[in-house]
Amino acid sequence: MTARARTAVITVTEAAAARVRDIVARAEKPALGVRVGITKGGCAGMSYQLDLATEVARGDEVVDAHGVRVLVDPKAVLYLLGSEMDFVVDKLSARFVFRNPNEVSACGCGESVSLAPAKGEEAHHHT
């Protein structure tokens, strides 16, 4: 019996991977990657949260991409399913950006979003 390959919860661009690599290299304590989660708050209701990950926590979805590891908090999986994590540099800022098909709306400042859980066939592969 062969295991069916699972689709990654999120995809990580090369630019995001390069930034994660830099963050891990500069960390004060050994880290194996970053953990992505969702927090409640902001004018639109939710915000993306990134933290250094020193270990894989129970239930984390592990995404290995371009030589880095991104862990997705289990409480955020259905909100992030199908998202792309990128790192964008423009004239005024440098930041991680999530292109998320589950976004219902975003606030004007871009700091918070309104998210709905993923629906359909793909969501069943991660529950």
pLDDT at res. 94: 93
pLDDT at res. 16: 98
pLDDT at res. 45: 77
pTM, two decimals, is 0.77
Query: Both tokens of residue 2?
Result: 């062969």
Could you tell me the residue ranges of all domains in the chain?
A: 10-118
The Cα-based distances of 20 to 37, 107, 111, 119 in angstroms read 15, 26, 20, 29
Collapsing DSSP states into helix, strand and coil, what is residue 122? helix
CATH number of 10-118: 2.60.300.12
pLDDT at res. 7: 75
Cβ(87)–Cβ(97) under 8 Å? yes
Q: Which long-range contacts (CB under 8 A, 24 or more apart) does 22-29 make?
A: 23/52, 24/52, 24/68, 27/52, 29/54
Q: Could you read off the pLDDT tens digit of each residue along the chain, which spans 127 residues?
A: 444 456 789 999 999 999 999 999 999 999 999 999 999 876 667 889 999 999 999 999 999 999 999 999 999 999 899 999 999 999 988 999 999 888 876 655 555 545 556 675 455 445 4
